[in-house]
Amino acid sequence: MGIFRSRWKIGFQPVPADKHPACWIKDAAAKELLIRQFLETHGILTVPDWVQHYTLRPMPEYLHALEGFGETDDFTSPSRLNEDCIRYVDPPSGNLGYFWRATAEDPRPITVHEGIPGHYFQLCLSWKHEDPIRRHYYDSGANEGIGFYAEEMMLQAGLFDDSPHTREIIYNFMRLRALRVEVDVKLALGEFTLEQAAKYLQEKVPMDENTARQEAIAFSTGPGQAITYQIGKLQIIKFLADARMRQGDKFNLRAFHDFVWKNGNVPIALQRWEYLGADGR
């Protein structure tokens, strides 16, 4: 852990002045386009032309009051599919919290989870589903499972091969999601106080004090939600393995992912039943 902690601190260097803030936003937009191309050229996932873009925008003054109460995202809606997704951000600096400080040098990790091919992309595909019920149903295990799965999917596909630092970020995100399970359960059972949960995350992830406290507050008010990242991802991996075994040479990775993303608002167990049949559970 000592070696990992030392390297992780190296990854938290302040962003150079020339990337602050317009160049950072421009860099994020360019890399979002490259991620879309990567998905298509590697046969991972179909990216329809009608899907708009995941963009960063400077945090407007009127939203500053909401900082610390969740993420400042506008994922659009079923009636606004012609609009870009917006994530409002503060200028990159050494004072950012865990997620943005970890990715200030490379916006791809947060783009992969929150934007393309993560939450925004999955929501857009689901919002255009021919079944209107599936446009509005929400299941955290499927949604967060897809977001978490997308990170490792892109890691294994080679998106981050050009950056050891970025791969380290993805591995640390995996560590965070595993530790969240323990914190979630212990908070629900009364084995952790809010302060103990925050301190545990701060020391074991490791992460900054403010982000750790925000995480602990969120999990204490929504028991079970933190577990859904891990459960959803594991369900998708098992679903993938079983589909590959069942279909053999007929298995197509892009077709599998297209199905999961399109139906990403409903539980993975239901998707599995539809894709593999009643005897494929």
109-128 pLDDT, tens digit each: 999 999 999 999 999 999 99
Question: Domain span at residue 115?
Answer: 2-280
CA gap 256, 252 in Å, rounded = 6
Q: Over the chain, what is the mean pLDDT? A: 88
pLDDT at 225: 92
Angle of the 164-189 helix axis to the 140-157 helix axis, nearest 10: 160
Higher pLDDT residue, 255 or 97?
Answer: 255
Angle of the 268-276 helix axis to the 140-157 helix axis, nearest 10: 70
Band (pLDDT 50/70/90 cuts) for residue 238 is: very high
Q: Does residue 61 carry a pLDDT above 50?
A: yes
| Average confidence (pLDDT) over 177-192 | 96
Please choose, from the candidates 88, 252, 101, the residue with its C-alpha nearest in 3D space to the C-alpha of residue 260. 252
Band (pLDDT 50/70/90 cuts) for residue 278 is: low
How many separate domains does the chain show?
A: 1
How much of the chain, in percent, has pLDDT values that exceed 90? 73
Q: SS in 3 state form for the chain?
A: CHHHHHHHHHCCCCCCHHHCCHHHHHHHHHHHHHHHHHHHHCCCCCCCCCCCCEEEEECCHHHHHHCCCCCCEECCCCCCCCCCEEEEECCCCCCCCHHHHHHCCCCHHHHHHHHCCCHHHHHHHHHCCCCHHHHHCCCHHHHHHHHHHHHHHHHHHCCCCCCHHHHHHHHHHHHHHHHHHHHHHHHHHCCCCHHHHHHHHHHHCCCCHHHHHHHHHHHHHCCCHHHHHHHHHHHHHHHHHHHHHHHHHHCCHHHHHHHHHHCCCCCHHHHHHHHHCHHHC
The answer to whether the Cα torsion of 244, 247, 250, 255 is positive or negative is negative
pLDDT at 1: 33
Q: Does residue 177 carry a pLDDT above 90?
A: yes
206 token code pair: 């490791």
Higher pLDDT residue, 224 or 92?
Answer: 224
How much of the chain, in percent, has pLDDT values that exceed 70? 89
pLDDT at 93: 66
Please choose, from the candidates 18, 47, 23, 51, the residue with its C-alpha nearest in 3D space to the C-alpha of residue 35. 47
Please choose, from the candidates 246, 243, 239, the residue with its C-alpha nearest in 3D space to the C-alpha of residue 267. 239
pLDDT at 64: 75
> Is residue 53 within 8 Å of residue 124, measured between CB atoms?
no
Q: Does residue 213 carry a pLDDT above 90?
A: yes
CA gap 155, 35 in Å, rounded = 12
> Is residue 85 within 8 Å of residue 53, measured between CB atoms?
yes
Residue 89's DSSP bridge partners are 58
pLDDT at 105: 77
pLDDT at 36: 98
Higher pLDDT residue, 23 or 170?
Answer: 170
pLDDT at 17: 42
Please choose, from the candidates 182, 183, 186, 177, the residue with its C-alpha nearest in 3D space to the C-alpha of residue 198. 183
Q: Does residue 190 carry a pLDDT above 50?
A: yes
pLDDT at 11: 41
Higher pLDDT residue, 143 or 16?
Answer: 143
Least confident of 5-9, 79-83, 146-150, 241-245: 5-9
pLDDT at 159: 98
Band (pLDDT 50/70/90 cuts) for residue 69 is: low
For 4, half-sphere exposure in the C-beta direction (CA atoms, 13 angstrom radius) is 12
pLDDT at 3: 33
> Is residue 12 within 8 Å of residue 102, measured between CB atoms?
yes
Please count the residues of the chain. Answer: 281
